[in-house]
Amino acid sequence: MAQSVSPAFQDNASEAERKAGNSQANAELFYMIQQLQGEVRRLQGRVEEQRNLIDRLTKQSRDRYIDLDQRILKLSEKVSEAPATSSEGTADSAETAENSGVKTRIYRQPSDKERTDYQKIQTLIHQEKNYDQAINGLYDFIDEYEEGDLTVNAYYWLGEVYLVEEQLEQARQAFTIVATRYGDHRKAPDAVYKLGVTLDRLGDKEQARGRMQTVIRDYPNTSAAELAQKYLDSNNG
């Protein structure tokens, strides 16, 4: 009888050990699942925080662009309404000043810091192709360094970047500022030509042709005049 009880006892002990082992494994598995669920919740929280941050930054950036674009638009409208005889007006007035013996403007030369800041923006444009950050940098540059030689360059490159980004109305405004307010600057021929290109892309072929003719008339013997002539020749065909 003792012999018959012994195997049964051993079986019960084995069963108990197996159940205990299963119970421990289940407990460990449950603990791991709880840990994973907690980690997922933490990651979801961080993703949500990042999404909210991105949304805020996007809104701030959009609001800033709208504000700055409005300032550029007002400035372009102001210089467009300026009298043609203004000493700081169109390319025609600059040419008249030269023919009459009156010196054209001497633009303020940049400081070392100004050159450094400008070069950083050029790196963003040409090497890194980071156009959004370049636009921000150009606006900041224009705000900080007004009426300087490189400030005119900054307006021009603002137009170039907007043109690449297919933001044609903003490009038109930037090129208009250089073409009308800084008509005696070295960037003026290129700005008038690019203004014609922008108008062409906007679908205003007549205005585009007029700008190209202006480049040829007011800035002969420049690379911009050559490009303008090629545009007229190709569109005449």
What pLDDT does residue 85 have? 35
Q: Specify the pTM.
A: 0.61
Count of structural domains within the chain: 2
Query: What's the CATH number where 171 sits?
Result: 1.25.40.10
- Domain region containing 63: 1-81
Q: Which of 52, 81, 110 is the last residue of a domain?
A: 81
Residue 43 has pLDDT above 50, yes or no: yes
Q: Same structural domain for residues 219 and 197?
A: yes
| pLDDT tens, residue by residue, 57-79 | 555 555 555 555 555 655 555 54
Q: Are residues 75 and 91 in the same domain?
A: no
pLDDT of residue 83: 46
Helix/strand/coil (H, E, C) string of the chain? CHHHHHHHHHHHHHHHHHHHHHHHHHHHHHHHHHHHHHHHHHHHHHHHHHHHHHHHHHHHHHHHHHHHHHHHHHHHHHHHCCCCCCCCCCHHHHHHHHHCCCCCCCCECCCHHHHHHHHHHHHHHHCCCCHHHHHHHHHHHHHHCCCEHHHHHHHHHHHHHHHHCCCHHHHHHHHHHHHHHCCCCCCHHHHHHHHHHHHHHCCCHHHHHHHHHHHHHHCCCCHHHHHHHHHHHHHHC
Same domain, 94 and 76: no
User: Of 81, 112, 140, which one is at a domain's C-terminal end?
Assistant: 81
Query: pLDDT (tens digit, 9 = 90+) per residue, 90-131?
Result: 344 344 334 333 246 889 999 999 999 999 999 999 999 999
